[in-house]
Amino acid sequence: MIKLTVLYPNTPDARFDLDYYTKQHVPQVLQWCGDAVKGGEIERGIAGLEPGSPAPYRVTAHMLFDSTDAMQRSFGRHLQEIVADLPNFTNIQPVVQISEVVS
């Protein structure tokens, strides 16, 4: 199983429209990816480890795929459109990680 993780760092000047993200962006990405997506989740950061500290990431999103090939054929194929939509909900440069789920 392959996990695509997109992390939006929580910087002081960060703008993130969670409503647009959850109601417009994510549904469009899921439509483009179709059945290749096996699961996923969206998380809104609320705090860091130290009491009262801010979350290091404003939002994180995770999508699961059977293989890197399945991810590339779906998500990768639409990467330009996905990136083009970023200014509609954020000014944050996301950090992306592709991982192999080991347990």
Sheet containing strand 2-9, strands side by side:
37-44, 57-65, 2-9, 95-100
- The C-alpha atoms of residue 30 and residue 18 are separated, in whole angstroms, by 16
Counting beta carbons within 10 angstroms of the beta carbon of residue 36, is it exposed (0 to 12), middle (13 to 18) or buried (19 or more)? buried
Q: What is the pTM of this model?
A: 0.92
Q: Encode the chain (103 residues) as per-residue pLDDT tens digits.
A: 999 999 999 999 999 999 999 999 999 999 999 999 999 999 999 999 999 999 999 999 999 999 999 999 999 899 999 999 999 999 999 999 999 999 9
Q: Where are the domains of the chain?
A: 16-38+67-92
CB 42 within 8 A of CB 16: no
